[in-house]
Amino acid sequence: MSRRLMRKIRIRPLFAALTLMLLHVVGALILSAQNSPGEPESFRQASEAMRRGDLNAAGEGFEAATKASPSFAPAHFNLGLVREEQGRFDEAIASLQKALSLKPGMHGANLFLGIAYYRTNRFEPAIAAVKKETSAYPKDASAWMWQGVIALAMDHAEDAAAALDKAASLAPDSVDILYHRGQAHLLVSKNSYLKMFKADPKSWRVHQVLAQASAQAERTLDAIAEYQEAIKLAPMQPGLHEELGSEYTIAAKPLEAEVAFQRELEIDPHNVLARYKLGGLAIAQGEGAKAKELIEAALQLKPGLRHADYNLGRAEMLLGNDAAAARHLERATSAPGSDPEVIQQAWYQLGIVYRRLHRMEDAQKAMATFQRLKDAEAENSQKILKRLEAKQNPHLAQPPPSPQNP
């Protein structure tokens, strides 16, 4: 089975519900907009049946309407919608084509014609039809989305990404659009990396990508080895030493990390993250003055660095500036986007600082909050562990059978 068909099989279930929604919405708009005294009675009856969800009656009614008024485009259009929802795609295609021959550019007709072609694996006519819809109605987010989806099924990743970017600009909160946009860009990235590997397998970029992939997979030692190889090939490339230093930090090798960050700053004195992370290492080594200087210098270049208040609070604690430490740590407990673990530790450190400041009631509250957060984290971890065990051993989740009567 081809990759194209495999991708289409994965996409199909995700759009079943969306297709039904589109059919109902567009169908309702057409019906309400075009009901008039001159329409065949069968059309009006079919419209009511469609509103009730009675597809069989709606199909019979619209088919009768097309026979009674062969040149009445809405009857052919709505018959196509019904047949599409019934999964009778060849009939839907014929009806939608007839509607378009009678009324070229009819809103929605090319879109649903394209979807019907897509459902029957005819991607070339599908993309052609949907492109007509996006050309005629460039503000229709659903049409752009389907253009992207069909392009994905055809393995045209860059075309898909462009169409889905347009859809996202028109409907920025659509979950379906955002999902498929992400898939398209992932495929573009994958294709770019494959071309890069083929073009120059010995490039430092190849080692950088492999290092980043290893880092994301938490294979820290592999990431370090790949960054070292990249640096051998491009020793003056900005960013590589900073990334290497980050992996050394995760691997609990602070001396190696410090050397890497310092080398990064020699290459690129404006690398904010290298300077900021050096400050974090200084805190771990108990060097409060150095940590404060580095972190504040980084903040001058890039205000709002993540966890900056927590780290400055720790630096002030090392310097004995407890009042200043308390102010930073108080802000750290409610900083948006902070890691839960950092918030926990901020409360813990705040409890220590409050005790130093003889604010005993505040210290008790801070420690109680720390303990509550820690207990909640442990409880949540246990729940996750139990769910994983239940998935791996389904029989453990089953209650024991009740004893049978002899």
pLDDT in tens, 130-186: 999 999 999 999 999 999 999 999 999 999 999 999 999 999 999 999 999 999 998
Q: In this predicted structure, what is the pLDDT of residue 43?
A: 86
Q: Is the model's pLDDT at 260 over the cut of 90?
A: yes
Q: Rounded to an integer, what distance in angstroms lies between the CA atom of residue 139 and that of residue 284? A: 54
* Percentage with pLDDT > 90 across the chain: 67
**Mean pLDDT value across residues 252-275:** 96
172 token code pair: 């920025």
Give the pLDDT band (50/70/90) at residue 54: confident
Q: In this predicted structure, what is the pLDDT of residue 29?
A: 42
Q: In this predicted structure, what is the pLDDT of residue 361?
A: 97
pLDDT in tens, 198-248: 888 889 999 999 899 889 889 999 999 999 999 999 999 999 999 999 999
Q: Is the model's pLDDT at 336 over the cut of 90?
A: no
pLDDT in tens, 8-39: 434 443 444 344 444 444 444 444 434 444 56
Q: In this predicted structure, what is the pLDDT of residue 38?
A: 53
pLDDT in tens, 346-366: 999 999 999 999 999 999 999
Q: Rounded to an integer, what distance in angstroms lies between the CA atom of residue 162 and that of residue 387? A: 39
**Mean pLDDT value across residues 262-273:** 96
Q: In this predicted structure, what is the pLDDT of residue 271?
A: 95
Q: Rounded to an integer, what distance in angstroms lies between the CA atom of residue 328 and that of residue 153? A: 52
For residue 110, give every residue at least 6 positions away whose Cβ sits within 8 Å of its Cβ, in sequence order, or none.
Answer: 96, 100, 129, 130, 132, 133, 136
pLDDT in tens, 276-286: 999 999 999 99
